[in-house]
Structure 1
């Protein structure tokens, strides 16, 4: 199955905003230009520059040194395109020539512009309409001359393209670049602040586990567009909590209902003479009783009070080993209890510690191969272990066997609750439980606790 890579909301917004801003800006510029051009309030693209270029090649000197204009094909074309075509050409020595009807506004203006290289003459936005003109000093075969012209006809596509490129590079592109930079900087900041509430909800979601029921994701500061998703997750968590409570109540009720008939069955079997197979039958009944106790232990662990007292794990180990000795011997094992210290005191719940050790010994009886020895040993400072001579537990399974209802390969019997209950009890006592290989290759499960200082 192909894994879909998550996309970045920040950069998707940046890209789309930049594209939208560029398109809107371009449209706005085009609308403004069209409006100003249509109303005549924009310095329009006239053809005077093309006329000046045509006159550059047509200006000559006659035999007297006066300025003359040859009738070139290009100039003839310009004249044909504009019925009001006119121009005025002069030099600094006073020679001049003109054609067409020169507007009165520009008839004598050339002398006043000797010190200006070029100019575009027209009107202000609030002024009335008047003719436009273009003046430029240029070098020609007839020398450096001043050309003043207007009404030059159509504008060439090359000049329109050049003007559009100049407009784009000089105005539109810098604005788009500035807006893009602003968007790249501002959008991640805005998105990060806007989604801060969602980040807190995600952090809260990471803390939710089976032992933290009742937790909900906060809706505070979550964007309204994402609020329905967070609410749906909270509703789903509520349904899961309700389902878990129903499941737990079922297990507890079932365990309570099973304990009485199992106890009656065990009593009746012990009073009967069942022959050579009596031990296996009693062991199976004991396993049923253990399963019922384990189901109840799941409930007891969550309901234990947060108070502990001094508990001697040497006494606990001696007591549980003695109580389970008949069951171990009936299953074909030798069972022993050893302690390197006379007393080893920890702070805890005596009943819970007894149940944890009971589960370890019963686990050894069930999976030890029905031969060899089971050793219960207390070591300083406060460690108690159970070792058997069975096939042991593979290294890859030594962590997973503590998961509820997990059964490793080759150990199919049992509900998979014993070691999980042991781990939970040890954790509540701030201890640690670990599995290693025993001296003869079997399993060695060790519970280590913090010793209680100042107790005896």
Structure 2
């Protein structure tokens, strides 16, 4: 079972996020533990009694402070029967409620100097646990000291910490969730860049190397190794190219000598070898053509219609002798930019292929910046229409062709920035369609100009 490639998203993004969340959570617990002062323990008076008490304080007609039994105060007393408090305004007037302990009475004169505090005695039931707050009331600001319901300080601090800390931690987590992937993506942008550069490397762009300037130092050794591998591939390709070119050149002389001897032979069986010699010579020339593709050809404006008429005219005698015909039809011809000799070789190979594998008639159509070569032969199966461009591939094993013609056609067309494809003809034959890039200049349109041989 094939394993899917491991992504860098997990080690570079997800794992740091999880680690950060764990650290935040532990930090939150640590802060809460410190805030609760776990070493002190015990209960403290709940300071939420202060607003209830402040709303129950009013002034009598003579200006004194009085306590009104509001529903909230009544409910508070039912919840904490030991409720008591002392309230003082800024003028020093006081009012008390419940049974105020003597210890509190002793320091109630200090209320005018206090605004906040928690006091608690040393042992349960913590009857002297009091809270001191300065609170706004309907009659103005009051300083209140009181005792009521008590609660664990740990729960109080935990609740207060949650209200403040949890939104803060969630915000930090959200920022991290957005920021870390963005940082990772920016850090690896150089990898994306060299991936695009690698996609541009092909047979026609040898000598290109991946850029090392914008990649992280951890990935640079991989890029350097890739560049060294590309250098070795270029060197190996160059050695192979020189070998094939040298071999093809060296074969020309013995092939020429062999042709002369076969043509001069008296025996009919020997002269029948002339076809095989021609095939060998054609294969040698096609190998040389493939090597010539590496050289940068002169790209000039080419009259495609005139070029195809010339190819048809050169091949017409051979077709007539073989009881075949060729027709050139020009539709909206436009000039192209390229190597005229290479394009002429493409057209010649396509016509020769149509003659060898086609029927009795070959039709060449010029269509703008491209052309088609159609035959009325048996056609090429759909499954073979891509494979015929492979080097040395033949539809029939004993075919007289070299198997390099269509491969050479594809190489030349692609070097010109065009494309070639094999299609089925309406009459059951084959159409080889070549599309080439348009030249910068325009040419007058020509239509319905036919040549028939």
Q: TM-score range by the shorter chain?
A: 0.5 to 0.7
Matched, 1:291 2:283: yes
* Cα distance in 2, alignment partners of residues 241 and 168 from structure 1: 67
Offset of residue 134 of structure 1: 2.8
For 2:155, the equivalent position in structure 1 comes to: 162
Q: Give the whole-Å Cα distance in 2 for the aligned partners of 1:97 and 1:377.
A: 117
1:214 maps onto 2:212 in alignment? no
Residues 359 and 418 in structure 1, CA contact (< 8 A), matched pair in contact too: yes
SS at match of 2:106: coil
Q: Which residue of structure 1 aligns with residue 43 of structure 2?
A: 47
2:118 aligned counterpart, secondary structure:
strand
Describe the shift of the 1:240–1:96 C-alpha distance in structure 2 as closer, same or farther (beyond 3 A): same
User: Is 2:393 the counterpart of 1:407?
Assistant: yes
Question: 1: distance between equivalents of 2:267 and 2:334?
Answer: 43
Gaps of 5+ in 1: 51-86, 123-132, 138-144, 153-157
Aligned to 2:268: 275
Q: Is the 8 A contact 2:130 2:146 kept in 1?
A: yes
Q: Is the 8 A contact 2:262 2:274 kept in 1?
A: yes
- Give 1:206 shift: 1.9
Partner residue of 2:20? 21
Select the residue among 310, 318, 333 that pairs with 1:315: 310
Higher relative contact order (CA 8 A, sep 6+): 2
Partner residue of 1:334 out of 323, 332, 347: 323
> How many residues are matched?
374
CA contact (8 A) 1:26 1:172 kept: no
Say whether the 8 Å CA contact 1:334–1:374 is kept in structure 2. no
Counterpart for residue 423 of structure 1: 410
**Is the aligned partner of 1:356 residue 2:356?**
no
Q: 1:24 to 1:445 in 2, by over 3 A?
A: closer
Secondary structure at 2:324 match in 1 = strand
**TM-score, normalised with respect to structure 2:** 0.65
CA distance in 1, matches of 2:227, 2:160: 56
Which stretch of structure 1 is more off in the superposition, 18-27 or 224-233? 18-27
Contact 2:118 2:130 in 1 (8 A): yes
Partners of 2:207 and 2:101 in 1: how far apart?
99
In structure 2, runs of 5+ residues without a counterpart are 47-81, 87-95, 121-127, 133-144, 445-453
- Residues 85-234 of structure 1 aligned to structure 2 (within 5 Å): 92=96, 108-110=106-108, 119-121=117-119, 134-135=129-130, 146-147=146-147, 159=152, 162-163=155-156, 165-166=158-159, 169-234=162-227
- RMSD value over aligned CA atoms? 4.7
The whole-number CA distance in structure 1 between the counterparts of 2:296 and 2:83 is 110
Could you tell me how far 1:354 is from its partner in structure 2? Answer: 4.2
Indicate if the aligned counterparts of 2:361 and 2:375 stay in contact, CA closer than 8 A. Answer: yes
Which of the numbers 234, 249, 256 marks the counterpart of 1:256? 249
Distance in 2, matches of 1:207 and 1:302, equals 17
1:393 aligns with 2:375: no
So what's the TM-score if we normalise by structure 1?
0.64
Inter-partner Cα distance in structure 1 for 2:34 and 2:369: 91
